[in-house]
A and B are shown apart, each in its own frame.
Chain A
Amino acid sequence: MIRVQREDFDVGVEMAKLTQGNGKIGGVCCFVGLVRDYLGHDGTGAAVRAMTLEHYPGMTEQKLAAIEAEARRRWPLEDSLVIHRYGRLGPGERIVLVATASAHREAAFEACHFLIDWLKTKAPFWKLEETPDGGQWVDARDTDDQAAARWDLPGRQ
């Protein structure tokens, strides 16, 4: 299931709903992305007061659904859930939840990793970070492209 929403989510409630009533599920893997309170990647950048996430209504949901469908084709998942928020978020707030449920842990771990890697490079979201010096759009990172590319299949895009 895919949800794109402004509101926060409760990880425990979502996990419980995902597995409820399905006795075939032996494990759930969950990734939660949070807003950092600094710019850059090593903790030495300027302070971030807030982040605004913009998205492309319609295309965002469609791309997330396509990425989820690809995960379901590749791994034997009992269920999966992607929630991605938009709007203005403060440091420490939850941005994204990816959860995968399967009979055995390997499929859940791999599919969860795949979903967040592909989501970051294929779903149309953009981050604007607010710092004491003003707003600044986050640049896409080569390392994210490389992380996504490791899931590419030979002969396919």
Chain B
Amino acid sequence: MKILYFAWLRAKIGAGEEDLAPPAEVATVAALVEWLKRRSDGHAAAFADMSIVRVAVNQDYVPLDHPVKLGDEVAFFPPVTGG
């Protein structure tokens, strides 16, 4: 599973991309977040308040209960501020 981080999430985690193979029970975005939070203090800090984190699976916005599986591209980022 390809995990991408943008903006301050990337800064807190210290990486823009990770290739990871979470266990099979990690079946939703919410479960993936809980699993990622255990990887480091930076991950825990980045995911401390999910109300200010947006998620895309395979480049489409999804809610936290959306399913994830091996092979997916999952991106975490703050609310967007372009334009």
Contacts and interface: CB of A to CB of B under 8 A. Distances in A.
Interface stretch (A8-16, A104-112, A133-141): A133-141
A121 interface: yes
Given A54-B7, A56-B4, A120-B83, A126 B59 contact: no
Contacts of B7: 54, 126, 128, 137
Give the interface centre of B4, B59, B77 by most chain A CB atoms within 10 Å: B59
A18 interface: no
Given A54-B6, A59-B59, A124-B6, A119 B81 contact: no
Nearest to B8: A137
A71 interface: no
B83 A126 contact: no
Interface residues of A, number: 27
Contacts of B59: 56, 58-59, 62
Interface of B is mostly: loop
A122 B79 CA distance: 9
A125 B83 contact: yes
A50 interface: no
**Interface size for chain B: under 10, 10 to 19, 20 to 34, or 35 or more residues?**
10 to 19
B78 A96 contact: no
A144 B81 CA distance: 9
Nearest to A86: B82
Contacts of A116: 83
A123 B80 contact: yes
Interface of B: 4, 6-8, 56, 59, 75, 77-83
